[in-house]
């Protein structure tokens, strides 16, 4: 086969997807503007620094390479930020993806794997959430992903496009060998924030909302280890190469943990008391999000390997201990 193009492949999830593809011997081109990604995180393939909003640059990449499959992970992904900066999210996520799909059509690349989000469900009426649950996003971030999903579906009806949309729930953890992990100094991922707070005695963990209709008042999420999510992408790739039909699948474990439960698990693992600052709820945050991933398991034979909160936190801790040698990440109250 030709090459696999991974947009956003220098980012947190993208770099783990690239690692998984590289370990399986795929020929990879990583396309990333490095706005939130890092060059050091790209362990395999060729890195091309470019933006999905740069149609001319993307066209050159496709023309100069025989690309068979596109895995699209380049996106702005912070729901509360999207409420404050909706134009940024619609411009980058929607317009950038349209550019990508246009170049794919021009160069007759017809296999596409899209990284979507549980945020498309908004505040779900049923838990766990299935792929048939109502699409009702409550943030511009979720809305941008829902719009892209609709665009992909419409194109597939009109043209030869096989696709898999993976609706990712809360991604956490790091490479088990400590090679790569979360690389942003100001992470919005809860488990990363918990670990960084535990490693910095003068810092504190901001908890946004303790009055949700949950057992302890804090939001509940389905946390999936980043390597398990990466395996869903590699299995999706092989599925499409084998002639599989288009799919939309949830990616999660089907078990939720509250913010305070994650905090207590981190405290138990590290032996450090975590300072907490309770804040008002953030716009765009639903109370509970838990996945039903039976479709992913049945369609792709995907089986999670790291479905354990302790394992997820431990891998994140190991990574943060490594990178703290080069600088501290401090979350101030």
**Which residues are catalytic, by number?**
141
DSSP class per residue in 243-270:
TPPPEEEEES-S--EEHHHHHHHHHHHH
Return the percent helix, strand and coil in the chain, to nearest 5. Answer: 40, 20, 40
- Say whether 27 sits in a helix, a strand or coil: coil
The residue written with tokens 């956003």 in the block is 8
Closest to 251 (Cα-Cα) out of 156, 115, 67, 123? 115
Question: Length of the chain, please?
Answer: 333
Residues 6+ apart with CB under 8 A from 102: 55
DSSP 8-state secondary structure symbol assigned to residue 91: I
- How many CA atoms within 13 Å lie on the side-chain side of 196? 26
- Asked if 143 contacts 119 with a C-beta cutoff of 8 angstroms, the reply is no
């Amino acid at each position: 086969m030709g090459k696999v193009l991974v947009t956003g492949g220098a980012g947190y999830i993208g770099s783990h997807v690239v690692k998984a593809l590289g370990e399986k011997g795929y020929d990879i081109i990583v396309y990333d503007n490095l706005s939130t990604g890092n060059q050091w995180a790209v362990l395999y393939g060729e890195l091309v620094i470019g933006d999905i909003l740069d149609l001319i640059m993307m066209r050159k990449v496709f023309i100069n390479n025989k690309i068979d499959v596109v895995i699209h992970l380049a996106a702005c992904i912070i729901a509360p930020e999207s409420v404050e900066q909706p134009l940024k999210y619609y411009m980058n996520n929607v317009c950038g993806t349209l550019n990508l799909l246009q170049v794919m059509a021009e160069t007759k690349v017809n296999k596409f794997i899209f990284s979507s989000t549980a945020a498309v469900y908004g505040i779900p009426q049923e838990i766990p959430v299935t792929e048939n649950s109502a699409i009702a996003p409550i943030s511009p971030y979720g809305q941008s992903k829902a719009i892209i999903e609709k665009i992909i579906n419409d194109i597939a009806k009109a043209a030869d496009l096989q696709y898999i949309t993976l609706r990712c729930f809360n991604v956490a953890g790091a490479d088990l060998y400590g090679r790569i992990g979360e690389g942003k100094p100001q992470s919005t991922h809860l488990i990363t924030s918990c670990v960084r707070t535990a490693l910095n005695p003068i810092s504190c963990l901001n908890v946004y909302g303790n009055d949700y209709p949950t057992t302890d008042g804090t939001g509940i999420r389905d946390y999936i280890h980043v390597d398990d999510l990466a395996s869903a992408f590699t299995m999706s790739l092989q599925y499409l190469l084998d002639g599989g039909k288009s799919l939309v699948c949830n990616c999660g474990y089907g078990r939720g943990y509250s913010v305070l439960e994650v905090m207590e698990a981190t405290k138990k693992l590290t032996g450090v008391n975590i300072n907490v600052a309770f804040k008002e709820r953030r716009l765009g945050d639903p109370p509970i999000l838990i996945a039903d991933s039976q479709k992913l398991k049945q369609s792709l034979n995907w089986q999670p390997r790291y479905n354990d909160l302790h394992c997820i936190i431990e891998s994140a801790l190991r990574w943060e201990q490594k990178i703290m040698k080069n600088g501290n990440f401090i979350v101030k109250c």
